[in-house]
Amino acid sequence: MQTGITAAPVTYSIKGEQYVAVLAGWGGIWALAPGILSEVAGPVRNVSRLLVYRLGGSAQLPPESPVTRPPLDPPATTGTPEQIAGGGRQYGRFCGGCHGDAAYAGTVLPDLRRSALMADGKAWASVVHDGALRDQGMVGFAKVLSPEQIESIRQYVIKRANDDKALGDK
Ligand code: HEC
């Protein structure tokens, strides 16, 4: 399948030939919230498609492309300890369910420790506060987080990225 499966398969036959069809695609909570655990279990790409197998069929899927990620290349940590601690709390409450516990993402959504937006507070706010990527499924959080809290989350993610880089992550 070259990806995860969360849907149930179906089977049917047409003119005596039996088929098994499954909607393949990686998602669900395992690919999101516990990012580090799904990574350790083996990173799985999301490739959304309907796959149909005929019993006795011999066709092969096209070759699989590898999981690629931007490098871990954060700016220096500049947040105060209070800012980072507060940002960590807000991150856990509002962001970690999708972008991964402790800012360590699975393969489906952006790993914020690797996001280029982290280096620029205004660009970060345009997405996290204003909702610049809302059409892609990333809503703005202006109704529930203040600009200061959103900046604290950025400082927390910068700190997390630097911590992991110091541990040897690339
Ligand atoms: C319901 C799921 C969900 C939650 C919760 C969520 N995000 Fe996102 N976020 C997304 C999706 C989906 C994208 C990818 C959008 C795209 O494809 O461009 C994204 C993208 C981003 C990006 C752009 C990353 C890049 O480099 O392209 C940033 C920054 C971001 N989110 C920050 C946050 C922060 C901070 C929070 C918590 C306040 C948060 N997100 C909460 C779903 C979520």
Report pLDDT digits (tens) over 124-139: 999 999 999 999 999 9
pLDDT of residue 45 exceeding 90, the answer is no
Position 71, amino acid: P
pLDDT of residue 83: 97
| Ligand 1 atom 40: residue of nearest CA | 95
pLDDT of residue 90: 98
| Ligand 1 atom 6: residue of nearest CA | 95
First to last CA, the chain: 28
| Ligand 1 atom 37: residue of nearest CA | 95
pLDDT of residue 145: 98
76-95: b (≥16 Cβ within 10 Å) or e: eeebeeebbebbbebbeebb
pLDDT of residue 26 exceeding 90, the answer is no
pLDDT of residue 71: 94
- Which has the closest alpha carbon to 102: 26, 167, 146? 167
Sign of the CA dihedral with 92 first, then 124, 146, and 82 last: positive
Tokens of residue 35, six digits: 């990012």
Distances 44 to 59, 63, 71, 136 between C-alpha atoms, Å: 22, 15, 18, 21
In the block, residue with structure tokens 């203040």: 146
- The model's pLDDT over 100-155, given as tens digits with 9 standing for 90+, comes to 999 999 888 999 999 999 999 999 999 999 999 999 999 999 999 999 999 999 99
Q: Which of 12-26, 60-74, 148-162 has the lowest mean pLDDT?
A: 60-74
Distance (angstroms) between ligand 1 centre and the Cα of 54 equals 39
Within 6 Å (CB) of ligand 1, which residues are found? 94-95, 97-99, 109-110, 112, 115-117, 124, 127-128, 133, 136-138, 141, 153
pLDDT of residue 73: 94
